[in-house]
Chain A
Amino acid sequence: MRSLQALAIVAALCGIVMVAAVVPGFRPLLGIAVPYLALIVFLLGMTARVVGWARSPVPFKIPTVCGQQRSLDFLPHHKLESPFTSWQVFGRMALEVLTFRSLFRNTQSSLTAGKNLAYEPSKWLWAGALAFHWSFLVILLRHLRLFLEPVPRGILFLESVDGFFQVTVPTLFLTDAILVAALLFLLGRRLLDARLRYFSLPADYFALFLLLVIAGSGIWMRYFSKIDVVGIKEFAMGLATFHPVVPASAGVIFYLHIVMVGVLFAYFPFSKLVHLGGVFLSPTRNLPNNNRARRHVNPWNDRRPVEVHTYEEYEEEFHDKLKACGLLQEDGE
């Protein structure tokens, strides 16, 4: 049900854009206003979000430790799973952000023979997520060739690696294929796994459908309609230099692509996609496990006095009993 709601919304968006794009008068709105607006919303929204997070303090140092602590010299300290120094935290975070370390740990539990629990390694989610995120990043970077002149060497290199298998004309970019495959996998598991379906929200499907439309329209233009890249580059350069002109040669699918990318960017700060920033700020991952060695300061600690039970109060209440059993200091020793 929730998947259909999301599908309906994405379909409606597509319909509106495609109808609007037929009318030449709307094209500047779709091709120029939407990208600028989306970018502004994205930048302001993400800034607001990150500032919003940062405004709340981290009162306690609460890493989730996943390896041996640094304690006695003869016990091997696990520097990445239980980081003690900032560099070690950096290492842990790098592993997390670049290789999705925690997802790599994934297991699947099952009750076999009705009585034995087993936990099999399960790397599919990790592989799918990694494939999606990395190919998305590469594709994003590849698009920079449209906005920069001359095209930076790094991007040319990226393209040559990505297009290593020259199986189609124009050259097939591996990442295009991987992106679509990964998205379909992520969507498929959400739809087919009853457990996942049970807690998935419309927003979870929405993001996937949106990305599929973006990928699909991009692939269509590159491999099938063979869009005039020179014209698109002129358009992109225009956007980048604030002298935007709508491309003469572009058709409806081009506008669909542009607007959906705009929707993605504008939607970003208001959705779960903010995990892009949040992953860096998660206190269970980005703090060192050196709690007993370096004191962590909580800025509001002193502003929240609590009612304690002092020794004097305790002694008063238990005075006679302490005395009777010889535990009262004054007359004791």
Chain B
Amino acid sequence: MKKTPEELLQIQYPPPKTDWMDPTIDFEARRGTWSYPGAAKNLEYLGFPNPREWSPADEDWKLPDNWKEIIHEGFLDLLGRFRSIKIFMDCCVRCGACADKCHFFIGSGDPKNMPVLRAELLRSFYRKDFTTVGKILGKIAGGRELTIDVIKEWYYYFYQCTECRRCSVFCPYGIDTAEITAMARELLNLLGININWAAEPAANCQRTGNHMGIPPHTFKDNVEFLCEELEEITGVHIDPPINKKGADVLFIVPSADYFADPGIYTFMGYLLLLEHIGLNYTLSTYASEGGNFGLFLSHDTMKRLNYKMYAEAKRLGVKWILGGECGHMWRVVHQYMDTMNGPADFLEIPRSPITGTVFENAVSTKMVHICEFTADLIHHGKLKLDPTRNDGWKVTFHDSCNPARGLGLLEEPRYILKNVINKFFEMPENTIREQTFCCGGGAGLGNDENMEMRMRGGLPRANAVKYVHEKHDVNILSCICAIDRAVLPALVEYWVPGVEVSGIHEMVGNALVMDGEKERTTNLRDEPLSGKEE
């Protein structure tokens, strides 16, 4: 990032004098605020149309000759399949309630980042092509001719929405710009337009079972390596089962958790927990991804990638599935999986073998969130915990968009945190729970080339962290999302240096008193515990 935080804070909120209906995006001048397009090899692997090498900064985007027709037909198809898009196209009254609810607008001041105008980018085309009034009256009725420049504008702004759904909370009709963005991305996909940070993980996941493209032996190596670390820190030897047939529970985590810092500490926390309670579980190499970047490309791609979860559960003959900490993963699992790839009638109703609790809220999908699982364990007093080991941390909790607004998973992580740490501070009310602000890097936008936009979009979140950092000396931002753990460290380093990022189960892992453990002198990061510094 070349720009300093002070420079980035020079945000111009008053809109320009020009008419928003005239699109022009100078991609060259706006480097740092857009993502690179999907590489040909990834599109090819996924069987997507029009694989080619190109750059948004090019004049010619190498689109098929009949691109206009493709978009028209594609939209017609979507209108026929999704009532949501019809309602959302027709009902917006432009009241503006959503306008300043988007973190990208707050951080950039770009009026087309107001959810209402982001949606109008698509809606204006809809009016022109699909409504009687728009066909006849055109611009005066809010209709807009589809041109290549409009397509370019779509690319820019629909890949500047993290599908966080904060706008939807405030809209009187619940208009969900994330849904509109998803539809626009489906359309762009038809022309071979998407971003590599979504296409590559999707292609990887289709092939290797995880976004990172980790083959099975490396998966095993990674897990073993983390177990060695764990043994060094705790003295406890853990040998997590992989691809084990007949386990009770299949445990699926986002791949970043066994791949990169700081997700790996969360993974270590999971392993300690499952060892502590003696759960008969298994990891899988084939279903080694909780996340689903297909969500950021198209409904079909989401379904393809998600297929592996149930398929693997069936093959291994487990009773039910446990899922790790990840945001968009849980949107897919909670709101889409059962519908797309269910019914899961080959699984059993999830029941915690430790507490006997039946997870009534998951009787159909048969997949339980690890925070639900752990909160239940704590409630039944099944965990031996020493929260003082986390006394070095002053913790705040970031509600990830999807668990908050997709599931309503608000209290479980807080309940866990309050049992495993002593120093917990909430960020201001309008920035948490259902009103939580995005990390700025979701929906495939967490790449390096998009860094300026990430810092802008993450500003509202970072600003709230700064508030508790200054007021309560908060030094760690806990969250239940792998994308968060990947993108928040850069964000807080930029806006609020001195704050770390962690998962909830890292905190759990620190506090867990394991059978036969040695005296702990460090936390899972191998940093000295407070009071145990040399």
A324 within 8 Å of B (CB atoms): yes
Q: How far is the CA of A23 from the CA of B9 in the complex (A)?
A: 64
Q: A117-B106, A203-B141 are in contact. Are A295 and B338 (CB under 8 A)?
A: yes
A275 B91 Cβ-Cβ under 8 A: yes
Is the pair A309, B207 in contact by a Cβ cutoff of 8 Å? yes
Query: Residue B212 at the A interface, CB < 8 A?
Result: no
**For residues 354 through 380 of chain B, which have their beta carbon under 8 Å from a beta carbon of chain A?**
357, 359-367, 372, 375-376, 379
Complex Cα spacing A17 to B379, Å? 72
Interface 1/0 per residue, A297-333 and B, CB below 8 Å = 1101100101111110011011001101101010011
Q: Contact check: which of B361, B430, B431 meets A69 at CB < 8 Å?
A: B361
Q: Within 8 Å CB of A298, what residues of B?
A: 339-340
Instruction: Specify which of B99, B172, B217, B376 is in contact with A325 (CB 8 Å cutoff).
Output: B217
Within 8 Å of chain B (Cβ to Cβ): is A279?
A: yes
Judged by DSSP, the binding face of B is: helix
* Interface hit among A96-104, A135-143, A228-236: A96-104
Q: Are B215 and A309 in contact (CB under 8 A)?
A: no
The reply to whether B87 and A102 form a contact with Cβ atoms under 8 Å apart is: no
- Complex Cα distance, B15 from A333, in Å, reads 66
Quick one: which of A56, A58, A310, A325 contacts B311, CB cutoff 8 A? A310
Interface centre among A307, A315, A324 (most CB of B within 10 A): A307
A56 touching B81 by the CB < 8 A rule? yes
A109-B100, A109-B106, A325-B220 known; A64-B174 Cβ under 8 A:
yes
Whether A119 lies near B307 (C-beta < 8 A) is no
* CB–CB B111/A107 < 8 A: no
Q: Is A193 at the interface (CB under 8 A from chain B)?
A: yes
Q: Which residue of B lies closest to A66 (CB)?
A: B434
| Closest B residue, CB atoms, query A105 | B170
Please state if A56 and B216 are interface contacts (CB–CB under 8 Å): no
Chain A residues with CB below 8 A from B117, complex form: 198-199
Q: Would A327 and B220 count as touching, CB distance under 8 A?
A: yes
B168 nearest in chain A by CB position: A64
Interface flag for A85 (CB, 8 Å): no
In angstroms, Cα B188 to Cα A37, docked, is: 42
Query: Nearest Cβ distance between residue A6 and chain B, in whole angstroms?
Result: 9
Closest to A196 in B: B96
Residue among B359, B376, B411, B459 making CB contact with A117, cutoff 8 Å? B459
Set of chain B residues within 8 Å of A200, measured between Cβ atoms: 94
Stretch at the interface among B253-261, B381-389, B399-407, B417-425: B399-407
Asked if A68 is at the interface (CB within 8 A of a chain B CB), the reply is yes
- A170 adjacent to chain B (CB < 8 Å): no
CA distance A25 to B228 in the complex (A): 96
By beta carbon, the residue of chain B nearest A5 is B140
Segment from A152-160, A173-181, A285-293 that makes contact with B = A285-293
Which of A26-34, A72-80, A249-257 is found at the contact surface with chain B?
A: A72-80
A61 at interface (Cβ–Cβ under 8 A)?
yes
Asked if B207 and A317 sit within 8 Å, CB to CB, the answer is yes
Instruction: Point out the residue from A76, A199, A324 that lies within 8 Å of B114, measured CB to CB.
Output: A199
In whole angstroms, what is the CA distance A78 to B405 when docked?
A: 13
Contact A283 B91 (CB under 8 A): no
Once A282-B174, A306-B303 are accepted as A-B contacts, the answer to whether A297 and B339 lie under 8 Å apart by CB is yes
B49 adjacent to chain A (CB < 8 Å): no
In the bound complex, how far is the Cα of B165 from the Cα of A127, in angstroms?
A: 24
- Complex Cα distance A76/B338, Å? 25
The complex places the Cα of A53 from the Cα of B88 at a distance, in Å, of 10
Please measure, in the bound complex, the distance between the C-alpha atom of A220 and the C-alpha atom of B195, giving whole angstroms: 60
Shortest distance in angstroms between A158's beta carbon and chain B's nearest beta carbon? 25
Q: Is the CB of B170 within 8 A of A292?
A: no
Give residues of chain A (169-215) contacting chain B, Cβ–Cβ below 8 Å: 193-196, 198-204
- CB pair B216 A198 closer than 8 Å: no
A interface, by DSSP: helix, strand, loop or mixed? Answer: loop
Question: Does B91 contact A59, Cβ atoms closer than 8 Å?
Answer: no
Nearest B-chain residue to A120, judged by Cβ: B430
| A115 proximal to B (CB < 8 A) | yes
In the complex, A204→B140 CA distance in Å?
11
Contact, CB under 8 Å: B92 / A295? no
> Across the interface, which residues of B come within 8 angstroms of A274, CB to CB?
90-91
Please give, as numbers and ranges, the residues of chain A lying within 8 Å of B357 by CB-CB distance: 72
Given A68-B411, A117-B463, A321-B215: A306 touches B83 (CB 8 Å cut-off): no
In the complex, whether A219 has a CB less than 8 A from a CB of chain B is no
B165: chain A residues at CB < 8 Å are 64
Instruction: Report Cα–Cα, A66/B464, bound state, in Å.
Output: 20
- Other-chain contact of B90, A49, A69, A304, A306 (Cβ < 8 Å): A49
- Asked whether, in the complex, the Cβ of B376 is within 8 Å of the Cβ of A292, the reply is no
Chain A residues whose CB sits within 8 angstroms of the CB of B409 once the complex forms: 69, 71
Map CB proximity to A onto B115-153 as digits: 1 under 8 Å, 0 otherwise. 011001000000000011100000011100000000000
List 14 other contacts, CB 8 Å, given A59-B81, A193-B96, A307-B47: A53-B86, A105-B435, A196-B94, A201-B94, A282-B175, A283-B83, A290-B361, A293-B365, A297-B339, A306-B307, A308-B311, A314-B208, A315-B286, A321-B217
Can you offer 9 A-B residue contacts whose CB atoms are under 8 A?
A56-B83, A62-B176, A78-B408, A115-B463, A196-B94, A202-B140, A204-B93, A282-B174, A315-B286
- Which residues from chain A sit less than 8 Å from chain B, CB to CB? 5, 49, 52-62, 64-72, 74-76, 78, 81-82, 96, 100, 102-103, 105-109, 111, 114-117, 119, 125, 129, 193-196, 198-204, 270-272, 274-275, 278-279, 281-285, 289-298, 300-301, 304, 306-311, 314-315, 317-318, 321-322, 324-325, 327, 329, 332-333
The 3 closest A-B pairs by CB, nearest first: A69-B408, A278-B91, A284-B174
Chain B residues within CB distance 8 Å of chain A: 9, 11, 13-15, 20, 47, 79-84, 86-88, 90-97, 99-101, 106, 111, 114, 116-117, 120, 131-133, 140-142, 165, 168-176, 179, 206-209, 215-217, 220-221, 242-243, 245, 285-286, 299-301, 303-304, 307-308, 311-312, 315, 333-336, 338-340, 342-343, 357, 359-367, 372, 375-376, 379, 404-412, 415, 428, 430-431, 434-435, 459-460, 463-464, 467
